[in-house]
Amino acid sequence: MHVVFQDNRDGNNEIYYKLSTDRGVSWGADTRLTNDPAESLRPEISIFNSVLNVVWSDYRDGNYEMYYKRNPTGNPTGIVPINSEIPKEYKLSQNYPNPFNPVTKINFDIPVCHSGEGRNLFVSLIIYDALGRKIETLVNQKMNAGSYSVDFNGAYLSGGVYFCRMQSDGFSDVKKLVLLK
């Protein structure tokens, strides 16, 4: 089961997502889908051929427009576990392909945290433009230790250089992405 909702918990209307794999008996952590200084409103879920689409309206460009995220696995942020091995250290891999047009894959590893626990490490993976402006938040949530992959779709961006920054538990790394149009 999937649910999306808008919440003003950080002083701004943002869109959140939750997943239940046991028919609503228990629910996963809130996954924040938007991170916009303008408000994001009216989220909806649409499922077609087992592809989940989360659609909402926001004001990021000075007028209300519709945006969406989708993933055929049912995870709207597109975060996919790669394997079951637990990494020994953090790693942000170079995106592939690079240069790309318009979609590229970004792999990252999260080790067991310093306290020895393999759960609930807060991870952020954010795309910035060449001027350091935040373009899109790909990951912004607590995650278990593991190896993951996420797709970044730059179809709405102009060609140029962008940067992907990963942060978690004292770790930070940046990779350069080149979008060709």
Q: Is the pLDDT of residue 19 over 50?
A: yes
Q: Are 12 and 46 part of one and the same domain?
A: yes
Amino acid at 6: Q
Query: Domain end: 16, 43, 76, which one?
Result: 76
CATH number for the domain including 121? 2.60.40.1930
Same domain, 51 and 87: no
What's the number of domains the chain is made of?
Answer: 2
Q: Are residues 70 and 158 in the same domain?
A: no
- Residues 82, 78: Cα–Cα separation, whole Å: 12
Same domain, 120 and 50: no
| Domain end residue (candidates: 42, 57, 76) | 76
Q: Which residues span the domain enclosing 46?
A: 1-76
Give the tens place of pLDDT for each residue, 100-144: 998 999 999 998 865 554 456 789 999 999 999 998 888 887 788
Strands of the sheet containing 65-71, edge to edge, are 40-48, 51-58, 65-71
Q: Are residues 167 and 108 in the same domain?
A: yes
Are both 86 and 149 inside the same structural domain?
yes
Model confidence at 155, in pLDDT bands (50, 70, 90)?
Answer: confident
Claim to verify: residue 99 and residue 177 sit in the same structural domain: yes
pTM of the model: 0.58
What's the pLDDT at 139?
86
The answer to which of 29-38, 66-75, 102-111 has the lowest mean pLDDT is 66-75
| DSSP 8-state class, residue 94 | P
Same domain? For 58 and 113 the reply is no
Q: Are 48 and 111 in a shared domain?
A: no
Contacts of 15 (CB under 8 A, 6+ apart): 4, 5, 6, 32, 33, 34, 40, 43, 54, 56
**Shared domain check, 164 and 108:** yes
Q: Are residues 15 and 27 in the same domain?
A: yes
CA–CA separation, 156 and 145 (whole Å) = 32
Share of the chain above pLDDT 90, in %: 30
Given 26, 43, 76, which residue is the final one in a domain? 76
How far is 56 from 67, CA to CA, in rounded Å?
6
Q: 103 and 70 in one domain?
A: no
The 10s digit of each residue's pLDDT in 44-69 is 887 665 567 888 888 777 788 888 87
